[in-house]
């Protein structure tokens, strides 16, 4: 299944794509793609999409999951990206928080913070927890995944690395977490650790990689994280980015108002964001 949330920000409705890629309304069956709904997606899989109301027009898409409690990111999880950042691959995953106020729809604008000169892009594979996970093994880990999605881990590099403290303040500005367009259930993702991913800025390809080069892969990450805290339905984990970010270019290149960012992952859909200066 490809599950969707659509409509005005803060008032999104649940939806599903049919075989032709048309948006269907799930409101009569579930209140949202969130929380306990994620623990029993088999109930939604049993619904014939052709029986659902067709959503007319081209509504805004929201983040593909609602009610997220934790937005966890993994840093330096591609060896070639670590190299372009001038850092070593860590002996254990680097974990940081992207605060949930950063979450937005896949085509919402990137808001460049006041005074920012180093806003950057990162295409990433995200996955959403469907069942609580605590002290799980790698062998059990994928049973706790509700689905996979595209994430742009937008980052302000000066805030992230040139000012004291944690990375989160460079990762969590408003609209720094475009998520979606779809939550794609695991039955449609043959191998999350072998997906092509790409990102363009103003039509120029910047990132062209594969999840196959991740250092710490999805089952390990779930097991690892669950040793420290419980993962709950709706939690998002973003797994890191391949090389090609603005920070690694010579000279570095960063986003400015008017730039258009397009990105996607094989089988998980695409995003498109226009950059704007934050008010």
Domains along the chain with CATH numbers: 66-277 (3.90.850.10)
Q: How many CA atoms lie within 13 A of 98 on its CB side?
A: 31
Quote the pLDDT of residue 6.
98
Bridge pairing between strands 71-75 and 236-238: parallel
Burial of 187 (0-12, 13-18, 19+ CB in 10 A): exposed
Quote the pLDDT of residue 23.
98
Burial of 220 (0-12, 13-18, 19+ CB in 10 A): middle
Predicted TM-score (pTM) of the model is 0.96
Q: How far is CA 130 from the centre of its chain?
A: 15
Tell me how crowded residue 134 is: count the other CB atoms within 10 A of its CB.
13
33: DSSP letter? S
Closest CA relative to residue 29, chosen from 16, 39, 20: 16
Mind listing the pLDDT tens digit of every residue in the chain (279 residues)? 999 999 999 999 999 999 999 999 999 999 999 999 999 999 999 999 999 999 999 999 999 999 999 999 999 898 777 777 777 778 999 999 999 999 999 999 999 999 999 999 999 999 999 999 999 999 999 999 999 999 999 999 999 988 877 889 999 999 999 999 999 999 999 999 999 999 999 999 999 999 999 999 999 999 999 999 999 999 999 999 999 999 999 999 999 999 999 999 999 999 999 999 998
* Nearest-angstrom CA–CA distance, 247 and 210: 19
Quote the pLDDT of residue 79.
79
What is the 3-class SS of 98-144, one letter each residue? Answer: CCHHHEECCCCCEEECCCCCCEECCEEEEEEECCCECCCCHHHHHHH
Burial 31-41 (b: 16+ CB within 10 A, else e): ebbbbebbbeb
17, 24 in Cβ contact below 8 A?
yes
Give the pair of three-digit tokens for residue 221: 């990450």
Q: How many CA atoms lie within 13 A of 253 on its CB side?
A: 13
Quote the pLDDT of residue 163.
86
Partners of 184 in the beta sheet? 2, 148
15, 24 in Cβ contact below 8 A?
yes
């Amino acid at each position: 299944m490809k599950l969707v949330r659509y409509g005005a920000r803060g008032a999104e409705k649940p939806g599903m794509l049919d075989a032709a890629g048309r948006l269907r309304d799930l409101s009569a069956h579930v209140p949202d793609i969130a929380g306990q709904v994620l623990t029993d997606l088999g109930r939604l899989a049993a619904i014939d999409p052709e029986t659902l109301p067709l959503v007319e027009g081209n509504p805004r898409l929201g983040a593909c999951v609602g009610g997220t409690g934790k937005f966890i990111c993994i840093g330096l999880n591609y060896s070639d990206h670590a190299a372009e950042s001038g850092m070593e691959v860590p002996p254990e995953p680097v974990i940081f928080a992207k605060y949930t106020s950063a979450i937005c729809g896949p085509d919402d604008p990137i808001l460049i913070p006041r005074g920012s000169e180093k806003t950057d892009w990162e295409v990433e594979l995200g996955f959403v927890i469907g069942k609580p996970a605590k002290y799980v093994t790698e062998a059990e880990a994928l049973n706790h995944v509700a689905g996979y999605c595209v994430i742009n881990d937008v980052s302000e590099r000066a805030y992230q690395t040139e000012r004291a403290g944690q990375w989160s303040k460079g990762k969590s500005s408003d609209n720094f977490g475009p998520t979606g367009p779809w939550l794609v259930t695991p039955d449609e993702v043959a191998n999350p650790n072998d997906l092509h991913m790409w990102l363009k800025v103003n039509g120029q390809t910047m990132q062209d990689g594969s999840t196959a080069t991740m250092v710490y892969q999805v089952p390990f990450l779930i097991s690892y994280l669950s040793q420290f805290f419980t993962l709950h339905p709706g939690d998002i984990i973003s797994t890191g980015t391949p090389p090609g970010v603005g920070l690694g270019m010579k000279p570095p290149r960063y986003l400015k108002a008017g730039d258009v960012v397009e990105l996607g992952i094989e089988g998980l859909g695409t995003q498109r964001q226009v950059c704007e200066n934050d008010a």
